[in-house]
Amino acid sequence: MAPEQLDNLLERDPLYIKELWGWGAAGAVVMLLRFTVRLRIVGYKGFQGDDFFMIMAFIMGTICLVLVSLSCGVTILTSSPRNEYELTFNPDSNGTSIDLTENQINVLSDPEIDRLVYGSKLQEAAWYCYTAYLWCLKGALLFF
């Protein structure tokens, strides 16, 4: 199977990753505003359990966004002259094996399978980070 055929199998809506980061940014703004208000009201020494759970939720949510983006949406390009990094939104950068049938996977070449394995591992890690994110939010509610 030619590489462009794999890309056709993995085709996604190109706005998905941008929307994902938009919602992530909105959540981050709310959390940062919360931290700002808490710092002004009680100071760092007055932080309670819910504040620490929200810090962990912020970290887990960010890690989850990065992993999902790397598994199915962002290509990191390095320009050689100055070693600057450029993020390019590419909905087919790695891909995962979630939407592929067994017959489609059987005709892939080894480099294509390696690409899917890498993307699937990133997606699996993102699922665990998302679960940790949700539990951190629940913990914050319990301590509130």
d(CA 92, CA 87): 14
- 4 token code pair: 């462009």
d(CA 77, CA 93): 11
Task: Report which DSSP code applies to 79.
Answer: E
For the chain, what percent of residues have pLDDT higher than 70?
A: 76
Summarised one tens digit per residue, pLDDT across range 111-140 is 878 888 888 898 899 999 999 999 999 999
* Predicted structure pTM score: 0.76
Helices assigned H by DSSP within the chain: 3-9, 15-42, 49-72, 102-106, 110-143
Residue 91 in this model has a pLDDT that exceeds 50: no
Closest CA to 10 of 98, 84, 103: 98
Question: For residues 143 and 50, is the Cβ–Cβ distance under 8 A?
Answer: yes
- 29 token code pair: 């703004």
